[in-house]
Amino acid sequence: MIAVKTSEEFSRLLESLANDVVHANIHWKQWNDLASALDAQPQVWAQSRTFWHLTLNANIFTALQSLCRAYDQHQKSLHLLSWLKTIQANTHLFGQDEFKRRLAGNPFVDSLATAPRAPDPNVLEQDIELCSISDPDVRLLMQYRGNFLAHRNAKSTSSGTANNGKYALPGTQIEVLLERAKTILNRYSYLFSASTHSVNMLGHDDYKYVFKSVQAAIDRFPHDG
């Protein structure tokens, strides 16, 4: 739990946590989109192998780093687990009066305030469990973080087991955790501020113009490469 006294303090926690969850989703999607596009257009890959290699690595590293931070378990850090426990201990911040004060400038505040704003204690408890180390997906993510991403396990590296997938993190589980983080974040963001956070970045497909231009140059001068 994080000690907060005001809605303003909680809002800062919400926005900072949202940055990690949103960035994790955006960079994961960009990595997947680029990888798929490069598979479909191998000639584009061949023109700038180093650039595309570094770009793919930067996206996957940022996605996983942000995801690990969102599911961190450190007692003094901001992450989903500590944030949810903070909500559990400060449900008064979700009261109708507090809600109206926060959204005083919103012309629809009165109608928005009629909807239930208090977190469901049973759902909140379930969400806490889903973000705890006891959850198998979170445990696998933290194992990956502790032995491969934030730290490199010396013993498994010297023995070669690290390169044999000992701390592998399957894409299916990454996507489960990404979707879970987004859902949980937006559940309480909507209750608190009547707003949610999109993980669809404007211009996320700008890379298609680069692919189109490179492919057009290849087709125009097929023997220059």
**pLDDT in the model for residue 97:** 84
Better pLDDT: 174 or 155:
174
Per residue in 195-224, pLDDT tens?
999 998 888 899 999 999 998 988 887 665
**Would you say residue 24 lies in a domain?**
yes
pLDDT in tens, 162-187: 665 666 788 899 999 999 999 999 99
In a domain, 13, yes or no: yes
Distances (CA, A) of 145 to 64, 80, 140, 153, 167: 9, 16, 9, 10, 9
Residue 118 in any domain: the answer is yes
Structural domain includes residue 167: yes
Region 50-59: mean pLDDT is: 96
Residue 190 structural domain: 7-220
Number of domains in the chain: 1
Q: Which of 101-115, 152-166, 179-193 has the highest mean pLDDT?
A: 179-193
Confidence class of residue 151 from pLDDT cuts 50, 70 and 90? confident
